[in-house]
Structure 1
Amino acid sequence: MNLAIDIGSNTLKIAVFDKVLKNYEKVLNLGLFYENECINDEGIKVLINALDELNYDLSKAKVVATAIFRKSKNADLIANMLYQKYGFKLKILSQNEEARLTRLGVGISIQGDFTLVDVGGYSTEITSNDKKLLLDIGLLSFYKSVKEKNLDIKDYAYTLLNPYKNELKSYPRPIVLASKTGIFAKSIAKNIAYKDIDDLEFHNSIVNKDELYKLIDFINTNNAEKRDLMLGVNRDFAVLCGAYFIDTLFDDFEFIISSYGLKEGILLGE
C-alpha cells in the first residue's frame, strides 16, 4: 500500500493506492489560523486531530505541505513535532515543486499539453508544458483580505486577477482544474451532499461556466445549514472565491475536472 498526504493551506488530502486508488480529504482551513507569521496553537491542534483520525501507519506515508507552511516561521517546529508523534518526515515544497508534482499527478490521465489550474488556500499555480504563472494568491488569503477590508468578492477578484487574463489567453487548451470548485459545480447540479461526494466520479468530466454560475447562485441564495450540507462545514467561502477566480481568469466556457493532483504526483515519486 502506498500512502500520500498533502497538508494544504485549506484541505488535508490523502491518496491511497492499494490495488485501486482511493482519495480522502478533510477541510482544515489552516490558513485561517495563520497569525503573526505563524500557524497558531489552535491550527496545530486542528492538524493533529485530523491526522489522529487516519487509520494508517503514517510513518510509511509520503507527506508534503505547501503554501501555509512555506510562509510560517514555526513550520520546522511543527514538522519536528509531527515526526516525533507519527514518524514521517514532512517535506515543505517550494511553489515550483508543488506545481511540478501537481502536473505530474494530473498528467496520469491527460494526454498532450494542457493548462493546469491549481487554486489553493494560499497560492495559485497555472502551468503548461513550457509556461508557468505562480501567484502568491489563494482562496483563504484572498478571503481574509475581503473580510478585513469589507470588499465585494467578485469586484476584488477582478481587480486582483484581471491583469493576468491576457497572458493566459496564450496558454494551451484544454484548461484542467485541479481544484474542488469544478467538482462542487457538478455535485450541486446532481444534488449530492458533501459526505456522499466521490471525487473520482467526476474525474475528467467537463464543467462549464453556466454550472459555475449556478454554484455561485447556490452559495448566495441558501442558508448556512444547506451550504454546510452540500459543500462541507465552513467551505462555502472558499468555493465561492474559487468560482470567481476561474470566471475572472478565463473567458473559456468549458473546463476539464481532474480529481488527480499533488497527492498523486507524490505517489508517483519525486
Structure 2
Amino acid sequence: MNLRAAAIDIGTNSCRLLIGENNEKNSFKILIRELEITRLGEGVDQNRKLKTSAVQRVVKALKKFRLIIDQFQVEKVRVIGTSALRDVDNADLLSSKLQEINFKLEIISGKKEAELNYVGAAASLDTDFLLIDIGGGSTEFIWPEESDINFRSLDIGCVRMTEKFVSDPEAEFEEASFNKIYNYVDEFLSSHLQFDKNLKIRGVGGTITTLAAVKLGLKEYDSSKIEDLKINISELEKIIKKLSSLKLKKRQKVRGLQPQRADIIIAGLIILKTILDYVDSKELSVSDHDLLYGLVKEELTT
C-alpha cells in the first residue's frame, strides 16, 4: 500500500479532514474528505476563551475522524488549529481532550496558515496572483513580490464579522450591517495591505467554495466542478443580494449552501467583495486546494 497521510484543520467555523495517498506520478490522490460545522470560535472575538460546549462539538467531530483515519490505515497524521485557537488563552481545554483520542494539536501561526495555502495551491497559480482564504476568524493573503512570496493573516473572518456587526442572524440581512462590515474591512485592508493591485485573484477555503457551489446550485459538493470555476463581481453581488433578502430558515434551503453556514456566509461574501473592490478586480477563480491540501502534500513529500 502507498504512503497515506491525514490532515485535520480545526477552524473557527468547521473541522475538516482530508486523507491522501501517494501515487506513481510524484503527486497524491485524495481518498476522502469530511467536514463538520463545529463553530469553535463562538464568542471568541468578545471573550478570548473557548466555550466548553464548543470544545465538546469539536471533540465529537474528531472522534468521528479518528474512526475514519483508523479505517484507512493512515501512517501520518497532522492536526492543526488556526485563528480561534490563536486568539484564546485556554486552548489547553481542547488539546487535553484530543490527547485522549490520540491526536496531538498543533496551533499554527497566521503566517504558517498562509504558507500551507500556498503549498496547496501553488501548482495552479499564475505568476501575478493574489491567493486569498476567507476563514471564520481570519483571512489569509499570499502574493508575489520581486523574487519572494508574501504571507499575511488579518483578523477579518466571517464568524468574527457576523458576531461583531449582525444583531439578528435569523432575520433578513440589513443594509446597515452590510455597510458596517464593508467599511470595517476596507479600512482594515487599507491600513494592513500594500501591494501592486494588478493581480489575478485565486480563492480557496469554505466561504469561496461555498459561493461556487451556490452559483452552480450543487445538491452535493463536487470538487471537480468547483476547481478553476470563474466568478465575476456582478455574480457575487447578485448572490449577496439574493441571500440577504432571505431570512435564515429560507437561506438554509438554498442549494449549494450548507445549512450550518447560512448565518455567516453573507459576512464572508461581503469580505470577498471588499477585497475585490480594494484590488480593483472584477473576477476570481476558485480552488479547493487550500491549507489542508498543502498539509497532506507536506506530509507525503517529507
TM-score calculated relative to the size of structure 1: 0.88
Aligned with 1:37 (options 19, 23, 48): 48
Match status 1:56 vs 2:66:
no
Residues 201 and 190 of structure 1: CA distance in aligned 2, closer, same or farther (over 3 Å) = closer
Match status 1:264 vs 2:293:
yes
Consecutive unaligned residues in structure 1, runs of 5 or more? none
Partner of 2:91: 75
Deviation of 1:131 after TM superposition, in Å, equals 3.4
Indicate if the aligned counterparts of 1:59 and 1:87 stay in contact, CA closer than 8 A: no
**Alpha-carbon distance in 2 for matches of 1:137, 1:181:** 13
Indicate if the aligned counterparts of 1:200 and 1:259 stay in contact, CA closer than 8 A: no
Aligned with 1:17 (options 20, 28, 43): 20
**Matched letter for residue 33 of structure 2:** N
Indicate if the aligned counterparts of 2:42 and 2:51 stay in contact, CA closer than 8 A: no
Counterparts of residues 132-143 of structure 1 (less than 5 Å): 132-143=151-162
Indicate if the aligned counterparts of 2:49 and 2:88 stay in contact, CA closer than 8 A: yes
User: How big is each residue's C-alpha offset from its partner over 1:82-130, in whole Å with a ceiling of 9 and x where there is no partner?
Assistant: 01x2212111001111111111111133243411111111111112133
Aligned with 2:106 (options 69, 91, 100): 91
Partner of 1:234: 260
**Alpha-carbon distance in 1 for matches of 2:162, 2:175:** 9
Counterparts of residues 97-176 of structure 1 (less than 5 Å): 97-129=112-144, 130-147=149-166, 152-163=176-187, 164=189, 167=193, 170-171=196-197, 173-176=199-202
Residues 39 and 59 of structure 1: CA distance in aligned 2, closer, same or farther (over 3 Å) = farther
Deviation of 1:37 after TM superposition, in Å, equals 2.1
**Alpha-carbon distance in 2 for matches of 1:224, 1:110:** 36
Consecutive unaligned residues in structure 2, runs of 5 or more? 24-28, 169-173
**Alpha-carbon distance in 2 for matches of 1:13, 1:151:** 32
**Matched letter for residue 17 of structure 1:** G
**Alpha-carbon distance in 2 for matches of 1:32, 1:146:** 14
Residues 172 and 8 of structure 1: CA distance in aligned 2, closer, same or farther (over 3 Å) = farther
Aligned with 2:9 (options 6, 9, 21): 6
Aligned with 1:191 (options 202, 217, 237): 217
**Alpha-carbon distance in 1 for matches of 2:197, 2:151:** 9
Indicate if the aligned counterparts of 2:162 and 2:264 stay in contact, CA closer than 8 A: yes
Deviation of 1:41 after TM superposition, in Å, equals 0.8
- Report the count of equivalent residues: 267
Aligned with 1:250 (options 261, 276, 286): 276
**Matched letter for residue 14 of structure 2:** T
Higher helix share: 1
**Alpha-carbon distance in 2 for matches of 1:217, 1:175:** 22
Indicate if the aligned counterparts of 1:202 and 1:259 stay in contact, CA closer than 8 A: yes
User: How big is each residue's C-alpha offset from its partner over 1:134-159, in whole Å with a ceiling of 9 and x where there is no partner?
Assistant: 31221111111113599933211222
**Matched letter for residue 259 of structure 1:** D
**Matched letter for residue 252 of structure 2:** D
**Matched letter for residue 122 of structure 2:** G
Partner of 1:201: 225
**Matched letter for residue 28 of structure 1:** T
Percent sequence identity is: 24
Deviation of 1:244 after TM superposition, in Å, equals 0.8
**Matched residue SS, 2:137:** coil
Match status 1:27 vs 2:40:
no
**Matched residue SS, 1:30:** coil
User: How big is each residue's C-alpha offset from its partner over 1:46-100, in whole Å with a ceiling of 9 and x where there is no partner?
Assistant: 10111122222389421100011111211123212201x2212111001111111
